[in-house]
Structure formats: C-alpha cells, structure tokens
C-alpha cells in the first residue's frame, strides 16, 4: 500500500509511456489503478489479430485501429477521471524532441525494437529525464533504470544487431531453414509482389557463359500477354526451383565439398488435378479480408504445426500465387512481407520448404516458419503483467528521489533459491560508452571502393540508429538531412553519397575522423576511419567492421538475439519477440555471479533458446 506521501507524488506526476503493446497495455492499466493522473502514450502500431491473446485492452472489433487510442479509450471506461493523451505516431517524429521530453517526470519504455529504444535513451539523456526500460519474452523479463550521470545508459551495454547473411549463401548455397526462409521472404516475395526494380538477387550465376538463369530475364516474373495464369504459375515454379538449380549445378567447384542440390519441376510434384483454378479461388476468397485469405485452408491444411508434404507445399505455393493475383493485384509493387498477413506467411512457408527440399534441408511447419520469418518468440500475458508492476515500482522510487533503492529485476522461468524475481544493483555509467560518455568508435573500411552512402545506410543509420544525420569531416559538412534544406544543397549531398571515401576533396582515408550528429537526439559521436583492403565475405558481409564499445558479435537471426557484455564481464542477452526486448543476465543461462542483493545469489541456470536449426 502506497503511503500518503507517495500517493501525493504519484497524483502530481506527469508520465510518458512509449509503446502500447504487450507490456504497454498492462502498464497503462497498472498506472491507472495505482493512481497516476497524467499519462501520455505514444505508439505507431495498429492492432493485429495476433495481439489479442495477450493485449487485453483490445478486442476483435479493434483490429486495424490505433493501439494508443484504443488503449486510452479502454482505460477511461473504468478510470474516467484520468488525463490520458494518446498519439498514434512514431516516437522518432520531430514533434517528440528533447523539449517535449523535458516536461515529464519519468519515461517508461515498452518498445519492440532496439532502434527506437536507442532513440528514446538519447532523448532522455539530453532532457535529463529518468528512463525505466523493460522487456519480456516467454517466461523471462527484465526491468531496469537509466538516469543520466548516475547509472549506465541503455547503450552502455553493447547490442548485437540481427544476423545478416551473404547473398551468395542465400542464393546459391543455403544450409539452414532460416536461409531458405530469408530467400523466400526477402527475395522471392519481394520480386513477385514488391518493387519490380529491386536488384535481382534471385539470379544464379555460373562460370558457363552459354548458360543463364531463367530469372535473369527482367520480365520473367510478369504475367505475359495471352499467357494463362496456370502456365505463368508453372513457369515461375519451374524457373525458380528447377532451372535456377540446374544453372547452379554448372558451378562444379561449388559442389566439390557440398551435397549437390536437386532441381524440382512442377510436373514431378503436383499433377493437373491438384491445381485449383483462379475462378474458383476468386469466388472462394470473396468476403475474406486481405489478411485472412488462406490457401492452406482451401486445401484443407488446417493444422499449422504439421509439416506439409512436398506435394502440399507445391499446391500451397500455386494457390497462394493465384490468390495474390486474384485479390491483391492492386497492391503489387508495394507489398512487403507481414507476419500477420496469413497468405504471405503461407506463400513464404511453401516457397522456403520447396527450396529446402532441393537442398536437402529440413522443412518447417507453418507455425515454425512464421516464427522464423516474423522473428517471433511467443509472449505470455502473465509475464507482461509482472513486468508492468515492476516498472511502476521503479517509477515510484524515482519520483520519490530514491535512486539508491532502484534495482534491475530479472523475471526468471525457473526459481533459484525459491526466487522467481531476482534483483541486482544498478551499474554506473561506462566510460567506454559512445553515447553517454562520447567515446570514439573505429570503422574499418576499404576507403577506395566504399561510398559514403554505404556508411550512412549500414553504419550511421543501421548500426548507430542516427535518424537525421549530419556528418562533418573537420570543418567541412559533407552530408546533412532535413526538410528545410535548399534544393541545391540536397543535390550536392546526394552527389556526395555516391562518392568513394578517398575521392572527396579532402580524402577520407586511414586516420580520418568523421563527426556524426543528430540534432533531434542531441547526439554526437566521433568515427575514426581505418583503411582495410579485404574482408571475410562470410563473417563480414557488409565489408566494414565497427568497433570500440559498439559490438556486433553474431548469432542466428531467428530470435533476433542480441548479445552484449555487462558489468563484471557477464554477458547480457536481449531477445526480441513480436512485442518486446528482454535483457537477461548471463547468469540466466550459466549461473555466473552478478552484483546481486543476496550474497552468492545467481540467476537460474535454465533458459530456453530459439535457434534457426
């Protein structure tokens, strides 16, 4: 029970919540019932069917609506005296700048990606507002506190970025189910239904100059004039799973130490009698929303945890392709994979399994493939409720100016010393942090063939999460973004993007230092360039390596695992599910000691891992 003093502070507090998903729904409810009166809520997402099993402020009729606004209305029904401001917007919008953050007493995060977490962390540092960070996945969860100059910031702990795969592995020599799913989701799906101008990574190259892949023709994926749909679908099937594999087999050196793949043709797998016609599909699909149309259901394949046979995968592939043309053709050119789009998941599952069959890789069920393609670690509502309660407890301590009482608390799957909630002391700021301590980073890159565009996209925006970068080389401004730029300046900066580093008037070479800045985040960082001639294509597919406190030790992408060293050299792991990111001490998997409140207390040695294979 809160004291009278605590209740008075709670009622006067102005709180910002970022995220209205699995943790966010529980957190908004808990804040309301605890007595908070002034709550602001930001969330970009809309409600999906898959949210309904754990985000209890939402109902079926809310699908497609703003999470933030629906959550607000739901809470006001049982606490109508509250002031809740809901924004259906991206927290990275310029409206939510440092001045906006300064009005709040505390910021509470319930986000689902590292990029947004970094952005909020930097704004809180710049505004001097304490941040309570949280995450959950399955039975595991964590809550921690970040206060400028008093504790480590969110980025003091290095975060591993999602595993990337060399294009040659994806297109030519896959060896894991995740390779096939990435190929189906990012390459084949995009080529058939997305931007037709994307680079044709589906093309298989061979040393035989007289042989070319069927998919090398720019018009291959288009339905030709006078061509029946069945002929088109079979042509795509044979080209992608048959002829392309035959072309790959021409590269004899590739298969000296590898098992040779087996080409797959439609007539070998699926007879005419098993192919449903488009008129049947159109009539069957009428009345279904675009996200609920299902090729598998039409074929009677209703068990999502059962692995389809080769013939069933071929049938689903053809049916899904026809359904996209029958019901979604207006969206062609702009479609992107969405884990909540049933037809898209079915198409990707079938295509990935057909490719897996060619390379003798285990096939996956629809349920398994969706988890890998959507980077899903399934969430549990009870864990989210526990985490939201811990967030509020830490927020109250901060409001009472009791930082010494704040803790990082781990929610465990298995009890340790009869404890399921394991507290640990907060750590101080890291002198090596490139964010709160502004420690320089080092970028190894070939300055002769790397363009500034590669640095901006892969490093500045991709790995450092700088949203509106300004890049200086000494006193020279070489790149800038912003809506208020003159057209001639935009043109000049665009020209700079296409220049190799050593071709600038003052060449960017070994030993050069670039200063990065983001005015919205009030963030600055120095990047020291180190020239390097060659890179390992398998281990360093970006052809550049960022080092310093920032680390990119890799793990398979199926769960978007993020590995980072923590205090006392004990790693912390972050696993991102479809709602939140969890930070779990290495003690959670190995029993290594951490600065705990109980002497010799360690976190449970049992922990589930989600791997690609």
Average pLDDT over residues 388-409: 96
Q: What is the CATH number of the domain that holds 483?
A: 3.10.290.20
Q: What is the pLDDT of residue 215?
A: 55
Q: In this structure, is residue 356 part of a structural domain? A: yes
For every residue of 231-278, DSSP letters joined together read: HHHHHHHIIIIIIHHHHHTT-GGGGSSSPPP----HHHH--GGGPPPH
**Do residue 476 and residue 544 come from a single domain?**
yes
Helix ranges (H only) for 375-507 are: 381-399, 452-454, 487-497
Is there a binding annotation on residue 23? yes
Q: Is the pLDDT of residue 494 over 80?
A: yes
Check residues 548 and 560 and name the one with the higher pLDDT: 548
Long-range contacts of 224-229 (CB under 8 A, 24+ apart): 229/278, 229/322, 229/325
Rounded distance, CA 308 to CA 366, Å? 8
Q: In this structure, is residue 269 part of a structural domain? A: yes
Q: In this structure, is residue 225 part of a structural domain? A: yes
Q: What is the CATH number of the domain that holds 203?
A: 1.10.10.520
pLDDT digits 0-9 by tens, 146-177: 999 999 999 998 766 556 666 667 887 888 89
Q: 486 near 500, Cβ under 8 Å?
A: no
Q: In this structure, is residue 71 part of a structural domain? A: yes
Q: Is the pLDDT of residue 113 over 90?
A: no
Binning pLDDT at 50, 70 and 90, where does residue 214 land? low
Q: What is the pLDDT of residue 270?
A: 76
Q: Is the pLDDT of residue 48 over 50?
A: yes
**Do residue 364 and residue 232 come from a single domain?**
yes
Q: Which of 575, 573, 578 is nearest to 603 (CA)?
A: 573
Q: What is the pLDDT of residue 159?
A: 65
Q: Which of 410, 419, 445, 400 is nearest to 546 (CA)?
A: 445
pLDDT digits 0-9 by tens, 118-131: 999 999 999 999 99
**Do residue 542 and residue 577 come from a single domain?**
yes
Q: In this structure, is residue 436 part of a structural domain? A: no
Is there a binding annotation on residue 225? no
- The whole domain housing 501 covers 441-595
Overall domain count for the chain: 3
Residue for token pair 């890179």: 535
Q: What is the DSSP letter of 426?
A: P
Binning pLDDT at 50, 70 and 90, where does residue 334 land? confident
Q: Is the pLDDT of residue 220 over 90?
A: no
Rounded distance, CA 482 to CA 485, Å? 6
Most confident of 70-84, 213-227, 258-272: 70-84
**Do residue 8 and residue 144 come from a single domain?**
yes
Average pLDDT over residues 410-437: 90
Average pLDDT over residues 566-574: 32
Rounded distance, CA 517 to CA 251, Å? 47
For every residue of 174-223, DSSP letters joined together read: --SHHHHHHIIIIIIHHHHHS-TTS--TTPPP-S-TT---GGGSTTTTSP
| Beta-strand pair 14-18/469-473 | unpaired
Q: What is the pLDDT of residue 402?
A: 95
Chain centroid, CA 107 distance in Å = 22
**Do residue 363 and residue 230 come from a single domain?**
yes
Is there a binding annotation on residue 51? yes
Give the least confident one: 95-99, 288-292, 428-432. 288-292
Burial class (CB in 10 A: 0-12, 13-18, 19+), 139: middle
Q: In this structure, is residue 434 part of a structural domain? A: no
Average pLDDT over residues 364-388: 86
Give the least confident one: 160-169, 190-199, 438-447, 512-521. 160-169
Is there a binding annotation on residue 24? yes
Q: Which two tokens stand for residue 248?
A: 């790959």
Is there a binding annotation on residue 428? no
Rounded distance, CA 88 to CA 252, Å? 55
Helix (H) or strand (E) holding 15: strand 14-18
**The model's pTM:** 0.69
Binning pLDDT at 50, 70 and 90, where does residue 216 land? low
Average pLDDT over residues 364-393: 88
**Do residue 121 and residue 184 come from a single domain?**
no
Q: Which two tokens stand for residue 570?
A: 């004990």
Residues near 162 by beta carbon (within 8 Å), at least 6 away in sequence: 375, 557, 560
Is there a binding annotation on residue 496? no
For residue 242, the number of C-alpha atoms closer than 13 Å in the C-beta half-sphere is 13
Chain centroid, CA 109 distance in Å = 17
Give the least confident one: 12-16, 141-145, 155-159, 438-442. 155-159
Is there a binding annotation on residue 156? yes
Is there a binding annotation on residue 52? yes
Q: What is the pLDDT of residue 547?
A: 86
Rounded distance, CA 373 to CA 559, Å? 10
Q: 519 near 469, Cβ under 8 Å?
A: no
Q: Which of 231, 246, 218, 311 is nearest to 278 (CA)?
A: 231
Question: Mean pLDDT across the chain, nearest whole number?
Answer: 82
Rounded distance, CA 115 to CA 462, Å? 9
Is there a binding annotation on residue 433? yes
**Integer CA distances (angstroms), 135 to 151, 324, 408, 613, in order:** 18, 36, 12, 25
Residue for token pair 């363009």: 451
Q: What is the pLDDT of residue 72?
A: 97
**Do residue 199 and residue 289 come from a single domain?**
yes
Q: 109 near 135, Cβ under 8 Å?
A: no
Return the SS3 of 424.
strand
Check residues 476 and 609 and name the one with the higher pLDDT: 476
Q: What is the pLDDT of residue 612?
A: 33
Binning pLDDT at 50, 70 and 90, where does residue 594 land? very low
Rounded distance, CA 261 to CA 121, Å? 48
Q: What is the CATH number of the domain that holds 40?
A: 3.40.50.720
Most confident of 15-19, 174-178, 290-294, 341-345: 15-19
Residue for token pair 């404890």: 419
Q: Is the pLDDT of residue 581 over 50?
A: no
Q: CA dihedral defined by 394, 400, 406, 412, rounded to 10 degrees?
A: -20
For every residue of 319-372, DSSP letters joined together read: HHHHHHHHH-GGGTTT----TT-HHHHHHHHHHHHHHHHHTT-----HHHHHHH
Q: Which residues pair with 561 in a beta bridge?
A: 575
Q: In this structure, is residue 608 part of a structural domain? A: no
Q: Is the pLDDT of residue 209 over 60?
A: no
**Do residue 89 and residue 141 come from a single domain?**
yes
Q: Is the pLDDT of residue 420 over 70?
A: yes
**Do residue 243 and residue 180 come from a single domain?**
yes
**Do residue 313 and residue 215 come from a single domain?**
yes
Check residues 291 and 67 and name the one with the higher pLDDT: 67
**Do residue 152 and residue 190 come from a single domain?**
no
Q: What is the pLDDT of residue 255?
A: 82
Q: Which of 337, 335, 332, 334 is nearest to 352 (CA)?
A: 337
Catalytic residue IDs: 168
Q: 173 near 258, Cβ under 8 Å?
A: yes
Is there a binding annotation on residue 67? yes
Q: Is the pLDDT of residue 198 over 70?
A: no
Taken in order 403, 404, 405, 410, the sign of the CA dihedral is: positive
Is there a binding annotation on residue 442? no
- Within 10 angstroms of residue 252's Cβ, the number of other Cβ atoms is 11
Q: In this structure, is residue 247 part of a structural domain? A: yes
**Do residue 309 and residue 410 come from a single domain?**
no
Q: Which of 146, 151, 112 is nearest to 129 (CA)?
A: 146
Q: Is the pLDDT of residue 568 over 70?
A: no
Q: 290 near 266, Cβ under 8 Å?
A: no
Is there a binding annotation on residue 510? no
Check residues 160 and 529 and name the one with the higher pLDDT: 529
Q: Which of 112, 139, 138 is nearest to 578 (CA)?
A: 112
Is there a binding annotation on residue 153? yes
């Amino acid at each position: 029970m809160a004291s009278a003093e605590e209740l008075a502070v709670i009622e006067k507090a102005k709180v910002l919540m970022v995220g209205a998903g699995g943790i966010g729904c529980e957190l908004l409810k808990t804040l309301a019932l605890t007595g908070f009166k002034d709550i602001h809520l930001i969330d970009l997402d809309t409600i999906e069917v898959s949210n309904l099993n754990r985000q209890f402020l939402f109902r079926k009729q809310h699908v497609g609506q703003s999470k933030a606004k629906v959550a607000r209305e739901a809470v006001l029904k049982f606490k109508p005296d509250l002031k809740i401001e809901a924004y259906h917007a991206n927290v990275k919008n310029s409206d939510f700048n440092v001045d906006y953050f300064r009005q709040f007493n505390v910021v509470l995060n319930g986000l689902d990606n590292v990029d947004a977490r970094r952005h909020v962390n930097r704004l809180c540092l710049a505004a001097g507002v304490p941040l309570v960070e949280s995450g959950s996945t399955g039975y595991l969860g964590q809550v921690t506190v970040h206060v400028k100059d008093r504790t480590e910031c969110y980025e003091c702990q290095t975060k591993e970025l999602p595993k990337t795969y060399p294009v040659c592995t994806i297109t030519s020599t896959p060896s894991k189910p995740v390779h096939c799913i990435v190929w189906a989701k990012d390459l084949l799906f995009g080529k058939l239904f997305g931007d037709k101008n994307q680079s044709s990574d589906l093309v298989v190259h061979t040393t035989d100059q007289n042989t070319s892949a069927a998919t090398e023709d720019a018009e291959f994926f288009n339905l030709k004039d006078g061509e029946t749909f069945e002929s088109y679908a079979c042509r795509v099937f044979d080209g992608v799973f048959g002829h392309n594999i035959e072309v790959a087999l021409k590269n004899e050196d590739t298969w000296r130490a590898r098992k040779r793949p087996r080409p797959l043709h439609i007539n070998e797998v699926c007879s005419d009698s098993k192919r449903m016609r488009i008129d049947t599909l159109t009539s069957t699909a009428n009345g279904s929303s675009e996200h609920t149309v299902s090729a598998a259901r039409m074929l009677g394949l209703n068990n999502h945890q059962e692995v389809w046979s080769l013939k069933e995968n071929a049938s689903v592939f053809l049916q899904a392709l026809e359904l996209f043309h029958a019901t979604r053709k207006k969206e062609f050119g702009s479609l992107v994979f969405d884990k909540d789009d049933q037809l898209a998941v079915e198409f990707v599952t079938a295509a990935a399994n057909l490719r897996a069959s060619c390379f003798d890789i285990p096939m996956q069920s629809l349920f398994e493939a969706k988890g890998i393609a959507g980077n899903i670690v399934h969430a549990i509502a009870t864990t989210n409720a526990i985490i939201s309660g811990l967030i509020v407890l830490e927020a109250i301590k901060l409001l009472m100016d009791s930082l010494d009482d704040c803790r990082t608390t781990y929610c465990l799957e298995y009890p340790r010393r009869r404890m399921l909630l394991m507290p640990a002391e907060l750590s101080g700021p890291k002198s090596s942090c490139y964010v709160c301590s502004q420690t320089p980073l080092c970028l190894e890159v070939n300055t002769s063939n790397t363009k500034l565009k590669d640095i901006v996209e892969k490093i500045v925006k991709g790995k450092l999460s700088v949203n509106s970068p300004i890049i200086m080389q000494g006193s020279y401004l070489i790149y800038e973004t912003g809506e208020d730029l003159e057209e001639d300046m935009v043109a000049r900066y665009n020209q700079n993007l296409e220049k190799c580093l050593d071709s600038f008037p003052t060449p960017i070479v070994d030993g050069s230092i670039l200063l990065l800045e983001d005015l919205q985040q009030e963030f600055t960082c120095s990047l020291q360039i180190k020239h390097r001639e060659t890179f390992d294509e398998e281990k360093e597919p970006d052809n550049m390596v960022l080092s310093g406190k920032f680390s990119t030790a890799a793990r398979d992408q199926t769960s978007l695992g993020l590995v980072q060293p923590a205090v006392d050299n004990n790693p912390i792991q972050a696993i991102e599910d479809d709602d939140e990111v969890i930070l779990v001490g290495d003690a959670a998997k190995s029993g290594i000691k951490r600065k705990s409140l109980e002497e010799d207390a360690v976190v449970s040695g049992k922990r589930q891992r989600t791997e690609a294979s």
